[in-house]
Amino acid sequence: MTDGNAPPSPRLEFREVDVELAGRAVLHRLSFSVAGGEMLAIVGPNGSGKTTLLRSALGLQKTSHGEVRLFGKPVDRLDPRQRALHAAWLPQSEAPADNLSVRDYVSLGRYPHVGSFGAENAEDGEAVERALEEAELTPFSHRGVLHLSGGERQRVLYARALAQGAPLLLLDEPTSHLDVSYQFRMMEQLHRFVRSSRQRAVILSVHDLNLACRYADRILWLAGGRCVALGSPQETITEERIYRVFGIDAGVHREGGQVAVFPRRPPPALLGPTPGSRRVHVICGGGSGEELLQGLVERGHEVTAGTLHLLDSDQVTCERLHIPGPLESPFSAITEGTRAAHREILARSEVIVIAPLMVGPGNLANLEDALPFVTGRPTYFLRGVPGPDRDFTGGKASEVCAELRRKGAVVVRDLAAFYEDLVRPGASSKPLDPEPLGDPETQRDPGAMAEEAK
């Protein structure tokens, strides 16, 4: 196959495809095509038909209506070897029968080239070595496949698919067992794979909407076996669609051509009443908020956090705990739009907590945003006010903190007492008198603060 200027025919085409399993319709009138150079992500809840769609694409699943075409030919007219030369398949999981070495397992991907009894030639060997390297498995190549972790085994299946050398890759949740770093590395590789030739295409099912947003050219949304949307992430990712398809409340953040999704924790009202729960906004970053965020969620508070930079360790904690809040791209300055979103969240909060974070030019805005909201709202500096050891703004952060203190922010050192104070009646709903600025490290008894507020 060669690259030409004319657009290649679709790598895959579904024409009004129905699939039935055990007498039940699982896919309904699916029609779409995937062009060369494209990455298509399939998203949908469990049981929506993603695996069935991918298996049908490979001819592993019979259709009851319509037609599937692979590289312009009906898939059911291609023999298994021809199919394997066109398309490689990475299943969700596979239980290896024997304890083959990783290298031998990956070599199985070369079967359409070497045939059943053929010996591996130099080209096959090179393809296997390359695939092992891409999947970062070279150091594991002599290990037995039965003695690998779930993530390592997933990378073995990925390497086997790469070794096959087919221009179309079909991958069923290829990132489900991978840690976040491998997830990004695999998606980057797949991105390069499709961009390197207009003959190539990638179709993958994925649960992480953010990976789909970041890397897919288009997203096919499946619900109950039907395609409910098909288009670019920018076009198709909306709060309403996420709610309709997945039944979850999620925010969608758009910026500079990028889309990011952040699920919100169901409001406490939906989870049932938690006595004394408060809307607590946490200003944190770099792991300074981890213990606090966890503790607040465990106590049933409605927690927000921000603004956080994507991939910051506190942002990862927030994602795990479903804590919403404004997000910014990694290492970028916080934009005015994000600050406006932050101020909206601050305005809705009942309590503000400033974790013992490092303050630099990249996050000073978070403290400045809090200034108008301190009066009338209990505001705590957890474990002290940022001093010279945590102020990397040439003193600007210290000035803002002094202003926050003048407006009533207090220092709290004891997390347990803080949690207790939060649920004390009146602790978070009445305005406080501004506190005179004294020694910024002066420890306040949060209980006394509640008394003052009465």
Return residues touching ligand ADP (CB under 6 A): 21-22, 26, 44, 46-52
Task: Confirm if 42 and 92 have CB atoms less than 8 A apart.
Answer: no
Strands (E), 22-55: 24-34, 38-43
Toward ligand ADP, which CB reaches closer, 47 or 266?
A: 47
CB of 259 to ligand ADP, least distance (A): 22
CB of 49 to ligand ADP, least distance (A): 4
The token pair that represents 34 in the structure block? 């995937």
CB of 46 to ligand ADP, least distance (A): 4
Task: Please report which residue ranges of 87-143 form alpha helices under DSSP H.
Answer: 102-107, 111-114, 122-134
Angle, CA 249 vertex, CA 426 and CA 329 arms, to 5°: 90
CB of 172 to ligand ADP, least distance (A): 7
CB of 176 to ligand ADP, least distance (A): 11
Task: Confirm if 421 and 453 have CB atoms less than 8 A apart.
Answer: no
Cβ burial 404-429 (10 Å sphere, 16+ → b, else e)? bbebbbbbbeeeeebbebbbbeebbe
CB of 26 to ligand ADP, least distance (A): 4
Rounded-to-integer distance, Cα 76 and Cα 61, Å: 10
DSSP state of 238: -
Task: Confirm if 371 and 400 have CB atoms less than 8 A apart.
Answer: yes
Toward ligand ADP, which CB reaches closer, 56 or 277?
A: 56
- List, as one string, the DSSP characters of 348-362: H-SEEEE-S--B-TT
CB of 52 to ligand ADP, least distance (A): 3
Toward ligand ADP, which CB reaches closer, 45 or 356?
A: 45
Toward ligand ADP, which CB reaches closer, 50 or 218?
A: 50
* Cα–chain center distance at 423: 33
Tell me which H or E stretch contains 81: helix 80-86
Toward ligand ADP, which CB reaches closer, 63 or 304?
A: 63
Toward ligand ADP, which CB reaches closer, 186 or 245?
A: 245
Toward ligand ADP, which CB reaches closer, 28 or 424?
A: 28
Toward ligand ADP, which CB reaches closer, 47 or 376?
A: 47
The count of C-alpha atoms lying within 13 angstroms of the C-alpha of 45, restricted to the half-sphere facing its C-beta, is 11
Rounded-to-integer distance, Cα 164 and Cα 188, Å: 19
Rounded-to-integer distance, Cα 399 and Cα 397, Å: 5
Toward ligand ADP, which CB reaches closer, 61 or 141?
A: 61
Bond from prior residue into 307 cis (ω within 30 degrees of 0): yes
CB of 118 to ligand ADP, least distance (A): 33
Beta carbons within 10 angstroms of residue 310's beta carbon = 18
CB of 207 to ligand ADP, least distance (A): 10
